[in-house]
Amino acid sequence: MSRTFIAGLLAALPLALTVAVLFWLVEFIQRFLGPGSGFGRMLRSIGLKFAASEVIAYLIGIVITLAFIYFLGVFVQAGMKNRWTSLVDTVMDRVPLVRSIYNALKKLMQMLEHKDESELKSMKSVMCHFGGKGGTAVLALMPSPERIRLGDKDYYGVLIPTAPIPFGGAILYVPVDWVEPLDVPFDGLFNIYMSMGATSADYLRPETMTPVGDSGRKSSLES
Q: Structural domain boundaries of the chain?
A: 34-120, 122-222
- Rg, Å, the chain Cα set: 23
| CB-CB neighbours of 129 under 10 Å | 19
Residue type, 20: A
- The rounded distance, in Å, linking the Cα atoms of 54 and 60 is 10
Q: What is the pLDDT of residue 93?
A: 80
- Residue by residue, pLDDT tens for the chain (223 residues) are 778 878 887 778 777 777 887 887 788 777 877 777 787 788 778 777 777 777 788 788 888 888 888 888 887 777 777 777 788 888 888 877 777 777 777 776 665 555 444 444 557 889 999 988 888 899 999 888 889 999 899 999 999 988 877 777 889 999 999 999 888 888 888 888 888 888 888 888 877 765 544 444 554 555 5
| 9-15-17 Cα angle (round to 5) | 85
| Distance of alpha carbon 68 from the chain centroid | 26
pLDDT value at position 50?
75
Q: How far is CA 137 from the centre of its chain?
A: 22
Quick one: DSSP state of residue 176?
A: G
